Chains A and B, each alone.
Chain A
Amino acid sequence: GQQVQQSPASLVLQEGENAELQCNFSTSLNSMQWFYQRPGGSLVSLFYNPSGTKHSGRLTSTTVIKERRSSLHISSSQTTDSGTYLCALASSNTNKVVFGTGTRLQVLP
């Protein structure tokens, strides 16, 4: 089955609202990453976060290995945050990286 599950699949916010994106995984973890994909398609790495909590501006990533989940919190959303957010994990058993199917975020003005 799918090793990495993301939720929600899509999300619509009004500008200024907060968002919580979830990533759940079913395999042992070596690393966890969050990416932002622009509407044009290119991928930007947001966080490399195998465990614990990391902050970057309005973004916070928290990975809890024991619970096999990682979250991405976006505070005070802006229209420029619109796009697709992908989580990806590298398994402890292999050198391969598995992606979730993404959360498509739309922030309305």
Chain B
Amino acid sequence: EAAVTQSPRNKVAVTGGKVTLSCNQTNNHNNMYWYRQDTGHGLRLIHYSYGAGSTEKGDIPDGYKASRPSQENFSLILELATPSQTSVYFCASGTGYNNQAPLFGEGTRLSVL
């Protein structure tokens, strides 16, 4: 069964700390995406990837890095977490949206204190 799994599901971090959010997909999709969702802004694209080894900047990449070491895994890295990065983060995988709906993970709720 196709799936996108995010970990952790909940995270509390301290300001200035490093946070890594992980995403794993078993769909053999080339494209993977990281979004954050905040009240009044909807979902905004942070980083995305076309395949292993590739990362691309989305609309709000500042303060975030991404890593795609394999087809299955796509990580979002906050090197120096700030309270403004408190949000719900969603990972998705897809074939490119031309002929198939993307699949989303369950979300990770991050609080930076």
Q: Do A and B come from one complex?
A: yes
Q: Is the CB of A43 within 8 A of B42?
A: no
Query: Complex: how many Å from CA A26 to CA B100?
Result: 23
Q: B24 at the A/B interface (Cβ < 8 Å)?
A: no
Q: Is the CB of B102 within 8 A of A95?
A: no
Encoded as 1 (CB less than 8 Å from any B CB) or 0, chain A from 11 to 44 comes to 0000000000000000000110101000001110
- Distance in Å from the Cβ of A75 to the closest Cβ of chain B? 22
Total count of chain A residues near the partner, CB < 8 A: 20
Interface of A is mostly: strand
For A101, give the chain B residue with the smallest CB separation: B42
Given A48-B101, A86-B43, A101-B42: A95 and B96 interface contact (C-beta under 8 Å)? yes
Query: Complex: how many Å from CA A48 to CA B48?
Result: 20
Q: Is the CB of A45 within 8 A of B101?
A: yes
Q: A64 at the A/B interface (Cβ < 8 Å)?
A: no
Q: Is the CB of B98 within 8 A of A30?
A: yes
For B41, give the chain A residue with the smallest CB separation: A101
* Cβ–Cβ < 8 Å partners of B43 in chain A: 86, 88, 99
For A45, give the chain B residue with the smallest CB separation: B101
Q: A59 at the A/B interface (Cβ < 8 Å)?
A: no
For B33, give the chain A residue with the smallest CB separation: A97
A residues with CB within 8 A of B: 30-31, 33, 35, 41-43, 45, 48, 86, 88, 90, 95-102
B residues with CB within 8 A of A: 31, 33, 35, 40-45, 48, 50, 58-59, 88, 90, 96-98, 100-104, 106-107, 109
Q: Please give 4 more A-B residue pairs, beta carbons under 8 A apart, in addition to A31-B98, A86-B43, A101-B41.
A: A42-B104, A43-B90, A45-B102, A96-B48
